[in-house]
Every structure is written in C-alpha cells, then in structure tokens.
Structure 1
Amino acid sequence: MEREQDKVNKYGLFGKDIGYSFSRGYFEEKFDRLQINAQYVNFDVPDAKTLQEVLLVRSAIGYNVTIPYKQDIIPFLNRLDTHAAAIGAVNTVKTEDDGTLTGYNTDYIGFRDSLLERFGESHFCDFDETVLSVSSYKCLILGTGGASKAVHYAMQQLGVDCTFVSRKRSNNSLQYEDLNEQIIKDHTFIVNTTPVGTFPEVEMAPAIPYQYIGDAHIAFDLIYNPEQSTFLKKALQQGAQIINGFRMLELQAEASWSIWNS
C-alpha cells in the first residue's frame, strides 16, 4: 500500500547534471500552492542504460525529460502520442493505469504559445491549431537536437519556414560558416536551441554573424539561466527583440501537468 501511495504522489525529471533544473522548483512550488501531497524528484542519470533501468521501476506517474535524453528515451516507451511521434523527441512521459509508458512533447506547446502571447496579434493573428498557418516569416534554428525538432514543429504550425544550422553540413541544414548577411536578413526569427551559453559557461554564444542582426529580428534563446544569455545580449545590442526560455518552460510544464492528470 505504501509503495502504491508513493507512486501516486511522485513526479520526476530525467536528465544529466540537472541540479540546476527549473522543473523541480516549479512543481514543488505548485504543490505547495495547491496544497497537493506530492513530490518531484530529479533522476540524474549518467547514460541511456541507466535511464532504462530507472524507467523499469516505474516509481512515478509522470516524468519530464531534458537534455540529453529527449530522443534516447523513445525506445523504452510503449507508445508516443501523435505530436511526439511527428517531432521525434519526448519531454513528457505518463505512466498509464496499466503500467505502460506514453511519450508526449510539450516543448512545442511552450515555444509556440510563448510566441503567440508575445506576437499573436501582430505576427500570427490567423493561427488555428487545427489548420496549418501561412506567414511570410522565416526562422533560423541553431542546433539539431531534440529541442530543435520541437521548435521546428511549432514553427510549422505557425506557418514559419525554418532552416537548421549545425556544426556539420547535411541535406537538411547549413553550417555556421555558411551564414552571411543575406541569410541573416532573410530570417526574422533566430532561435538558439543549443546549450551554448548556459550556466556556468555564460560567456559563450553560438558563432553567428551578429553584425547583420537588426531591429527587424526576433532572437529567442531556449536558455533561461542566465536570464539574458550572451546570444541575447549580442542580438539586443543590434536592436533585435529578445526572448529567453523561461515562459516557454512555464507553459510546457503546465501542459505536462495537464497530461499527467488527464
């Protein structure tokens, strides 16, 4: 009976070196505010094998997933919802009543809705979640990991054409060395989905030609610690509007909570 009670009241986060994590503090504050008898545990796992071993215990009814396991976790799940399958990355897992695991992605919701809150009327006034939108905007996505896939999916919903930028050239991406004045000027949104510039290496920033950024650009960094990354500082100095990842995290966390309790 005690073990079942522990299961009902436990949520957690899978990641590596996650002592800094936003999620635990956010949900512990939420539990206190709503007077819920629950706990949120950081499962700091060193590799995918350990991740699988922890999952087999099924000790929580809901998990978040962060770097570097958003893609690695997929083979250990029983099913994916439609959006997670399309994105190819998972940041939310629900333990079903029968003990099976379903993977979801709420990163795209957090990213998309943070943009809609900020620019809905001016940039995405015709957005409808059931219909693919069309806009004249373009986006450079820095990075090709799990978070970049969610950003791409959200931008597709908003009708924004995307180009990936990576350290390695592929059929689907540019290299950082390819970026020039015309490419930067053609892309209103520049989104950093890499961990470059996060605490403690806060002086670092993606290697893009910031001198070509101007007041028509919107720079979005998924990093939230520090509040204003070097990437955002450099973009702001050029006149761009800037957004950090904090509101995205809040919105994806609330979407995860809704999934766990549905």
Structure 2
Amino acid sequence: MRRSVIAAAALALGLTACGTGTDSARRGGGDDTLVVGATAVPAGEVLTFVRDHLAAKAGLKLEIKEFTDYVLPDTALQEGELDANLYQNQPYLDDFNKTRGTDLVPVVKPYLPPMGVYSRKTGSVTALADGATVAVPGDTTNEGRALKLLASGGVIGLRAGAGPDATPADVTANPRHLKFRELDAAQLPRSLDDVDAAVINNNYAQDAGLSLTEDAILVESAKDNPYANLLAVRRGDEDDPRVRKLAGLLVSPEVRAFLKDRYHGSVLPVTGG
C-alpha cells in the first residue's frame, strides 16, 4: 500500500478522534487551561493520572483530548487547537516536520513504549515459516523501526546505514522469504488473524489487550533506544509556564511509580527525561 494512501486513511480515521480541538483550546482564549492531545494508551492514561493526582497541587489546569491516529495530534497542535501533545517519538516528529512543514519541538521525554512483534501462529520469530507474511506499520519512521526490530531478531538483514526511514527495499537478507504487508498502524492488531505476525506499536497493542511482556514474541531493546515518547509544543512555546509545569510532572517520582505499577514493564520510565 502506498504511503499516501495510508496517510489519507489515517487522516480519515482520525476524524473520529475524541475531540479534535475546540475554540476554547486555542491560544488567547482567556483560559489558562493547558490542552494536551494524546493517544489513549499510555499517553492518555499518564496524562489522566497527572490531571487527577498532581496537577492541582502544581497549580496546573489540564485538559486532555484523545486521538485515534498519529496525524491529527500534530496538525491540531500546529494549528493552535492544542497547546501540546504527548504520543510520538523524535524520529516521527522529525519526519512529520519535514514532510508536513510543521514547526514542532520536543520538551521532555518521560517514557519509552517498546515496540513488539506479535503472532497467533508461532511463538518465536525464528520459527516463522518460509514465505510468511509479516504486517508492519506503513508510515515512514514506524516501518523503519519495525524492520530494525525484525533485524535485531535475526530474521532479516538491513543494508548498512539503513536509518529510521528504512523500507523493505533496504532488506538485504531475507532467508525465510518473508513478505511484508504495510498497514496503517492502528489496523495492525486486527490483522493478526490474517498474517503470520505483526509488528505493533505499543499503544495500539495495549488498546487491543496485548501485553508486551506476556504476548510479544520479540521485544525492542530499551538500550540506546531513540523512540521514547515526548511532550511536543509549537516552537516558541517551550518556556510557557504551563508547559514547564507539565514537563516537570511527567518526569516526577510519582509518574515514574505510576508507570511501573500500571504497565509492569510494558512502558518504561526514561532516566533523565
């Protein structure tokens, strides 16, 4: 599937997001509430914990807008319908800024949601049958991330220097003759009955009731991992006092404890934020 088609599908899906921005969320609206966009899990749950347990004491009013895709949270932020968002990683943000002409910047990186490979047909990536079909995210950086994860498991090899935008064209070794099916990331859990394995982003896996620690047959390493989720804002808003308060809360001991207790290793606090 061409990425332009995938992007269009993601945009159409995202139109059903839970709140895509309102006039009250725009800057200059006379309300000091910080409006933050997020996907439901884990970002939405983390922000809900902050809102319900930490924000008032810190003097922060927090409103959460949940989205079902990876496109609208950034377009809504760029257009001023949000003050910040929490859901993406640095490679994705860099690619989004480059391809969409946005000017969004990171503030803090509170946690890492490792990617996993899941299957209902095999218990190991090394047991994938010859010619097996593996579903991968179709957007640029998540596809490259998925291929690198498969390479780390020894089932494929990538050309030297293949970066976060790697595609199946960069696969240089494929002894099992795997076939790759590019899908919108949100569709991957539903593909498990139709493919031999799927490489699924953490948030969509959790939405589907999949456990990284119990169900994944291959898990991304946390060491030197560039895919920590980040709090993003429009350039120039990094020092907004409300943003700084939220950034501090996201790396607080209370949030770190919440991550450990709630996700049991499926979402990892990032040392140093």
TM-score (norm 1): 0.38
> Relative CO higher for 1 or 2, CA cutoff 8 Å, sep ≥ 6?
2
TM-score (norm 2): 0.37
